[in-house]
Amino acid sequence: MPPMNYRFSTRALSAKSSDVRDLLLHAQNPDIISLAGGLPAAEFFDVDGIRNAAASVLKHSSTSALQYGMTEGQPRLKAALKKHLASKGIRASDSTLIVTTGSQQGLDLIARAFINEGETIVVERPTYLAALQAFNLCAPNYVSINIDDQGGCVHELQSLENLPHEQKPKLIYVVTNFANPSGVSMSLERRRWLAQWAVKNEVFVLEDDPYGDLYDGSAPPTPLAAIAQSIPGASDWCGYASSLSKCLAPGLRIGWMVLPEALARIVVRLKQAMDLHTSTLTQEIAATYLESGAMDDRLVLIRNAYKLRRQTLTEALSKTFGSRISISPSTGGMFIWGRFTDGTQTRPLLAKAIEEKVIFVPGDVFYASDPDQSSLRLNFTSASPERLIEGVRRLAMAM
């Protein structure tokens, strides 16, 4: 539809709808098997636990839960999050921890804090689509680093060291654990290297980690943010973002960031202008739930179920497509990242797949530039193992 005679801002006109969101419209059709979205399995939501937490909040803390709150976040939730972060080796204080409305808001805030039009930022290729959407509104110049089996190829940053000051990147965005979309985690050695590089070159790194608790077997390496706290000066150049969306419930819209104090102060000001604060009601519910200790047991359940689903989808893909598909190594998260080695282009394949009633996300949307047209992202968490197998059968029909 033409935009009437409204004189929209360049920023508004540049905003594109995410292909994943558009695909989710198909996902609402029960005949369609969706391997496209990034939805956690709804059957593992701890509905009773959240109901009890909500009832307790309304009974005992209704004033703070229904009143305006502090932009930085509710003190009770911050206390619970500090404990959670400490279990990962990250020290946070009231002045460095900010509760956000989902971690997505954190990405938007960091973009606003750093990027002027045309300034350089570094992302991985492939990277999280909605991070690109948030960053795009600030019209940056992107530099991409590749991803291999060890995660982001951070050594490629060396090529940026001798650029004139105004062309040097201001921000590096990495998804360190079971990344969306690649499923890959960054190795410990690379995390250390990146923290050291950041402090030496004075470039801010945002580590986005919503999937780190969704592992099978052993936990991923120590977060970059924790490593940075043991390297002199590095915690001034490394920040951390995470969320309850993947482990508890995305509908709560609870995320957080741990940032150097000077940056946290700026980000709080930006957030004030955006939404005053994240919902006090859901913050209090989340705090009560975390205090109950129920999350640990729930995570065990989710990890086991996701492990089975990931293995089922991986095996079905390997059996069906053999050497025609290469799959990135992963031991957690919510996605399988594949690449057809026979030149199959995944965007035309999607059109055929919709006819066969299965959907996935063509990989090209996850690149800031030079997309790989043969790649695709498959979600394994929101369909049952039987539906995953059937989904791959339909995909083979589409091929």
Ligand X SMILES: Cc1ncc(COP(=O)(O)O)c(C=O)c1O
Binding mask 126-155 for ligand X (x = CB under 6 A): --x---------------------------
Please state, in angstroms and rounded to a whole number, the distance separating the CA atoms of residues 246 and 379: 13
SS3 content of the chain, % helix, strand, coil (to 5): 50, 15, 35
Of 149, 147, 200, 201, the C-alpha closest to 174 is 147
Question: Which residues in 210-229 contact ligand X (CB under 6 A)?
Answer: 210
Other CB atoms within 10 A of residue 238 CB: 27
Q: Which of 34, 61, 104, 120 binds ligand X (CB under 6 A)?
A: 104
Sole binder of ligand X in the list 102, 151, 239, 338 (CB under 6 A): 102
- Tell me how far, at minimum, the Cβ of 111 lies from ligand X, in Å: 13
CB 287 within 8 A of CB 87: no
Name which position in 69, 140, 183, 250 contacts ligand X (CB under 6 A). 250
Dist. CA 206–CA 245, nearest whole Å: 18
The nearer residue to ligand X, 128 or 197, going by C-beta atoms, is 128
Residue 102 or residue 126: which is nearer to ligand X going by CB?
Answer: 102
**Should residue 175 be labelled a site residue for ligand X when binding is judged by CB under 6 A?**
yes
Alpha-carbon span 167 to 7, nearest angstrom:
32
Query: Position 375: which residue type?
Result: S
Stretch that binds ligand X, among 53-61, 101-109, 216-224, 336-344 (CB under 6 A): 101-109
DSSP state of 236: G
Q: How far apart are CA 61 and CA 325, in angstroms?
A: 53
Q: Looking at residue 341, what DSSP letter applies? A: T
**How many angstroms separate the Cα of 86 from the Cα of each of 90, 262, 296, 326?**
5, 21, 15, 37
Q: How far is the CB of 305 from ligand X (least distance, A)?
A: 18
The residue count for binding ligand X (CB under 6 A) is 13
Choices 102-110, 140-148, 315-323, 371-379; region in contact with ligand X by CB under 6 A: 102-110
- Four-point Cα dihedral 306, 310, 313, 317, nearest 10: 170
Contact region with ligand X (CB under 6 A), list: 23-31, 213-221, 243-251, 374-382: 243-251
Part in contact with ligand X (CB under 6 A); list of ranges 96-104, 109-117, 278-286, 319-327? 96-104
Regarding 176 and contact with ligand X (CB under 6 A), the answer is no
* Alpha-helical runs (H) found in 41-147: 47-60, 62-66, 75-86, 102-114, 129-136
As given in the structure block, the two tokens for residue 234 are 């590095």
Count CB atoms within 10 A of the CB of residue 39.
17
Is residue 381 close enough to count as binding ligand X by CB under 6 A? no
Considering the complex, state which of residue 204 and residue 366 has its C-beta at the smaller distance from ligand X.
366
Question: Of 34, 71, 74, 103, which lies in the binding site for ligand X, with binding defined by CB under 6 A?
Answer: 103
Output 32 or 175, the one with its CB closest to ligand X: 175
Which residue stretch of 22-30, 193-201, 242-250, 260-268 sits at the interface with ligand X (rule: CB under 6 A)?
A: 242-250
What's the closest the beta carbon of residue 101 comes to ligand X, in angstroms?
A: 8
| Residue of 96, 176, 185, 243 that binds ligand X (CB under 6 A) | 243
Residues of this chain that bind ligand X (CB under 6 A): 38, 102-104, 128, 175, 180, 208, 210, 243, 245, 250, 255
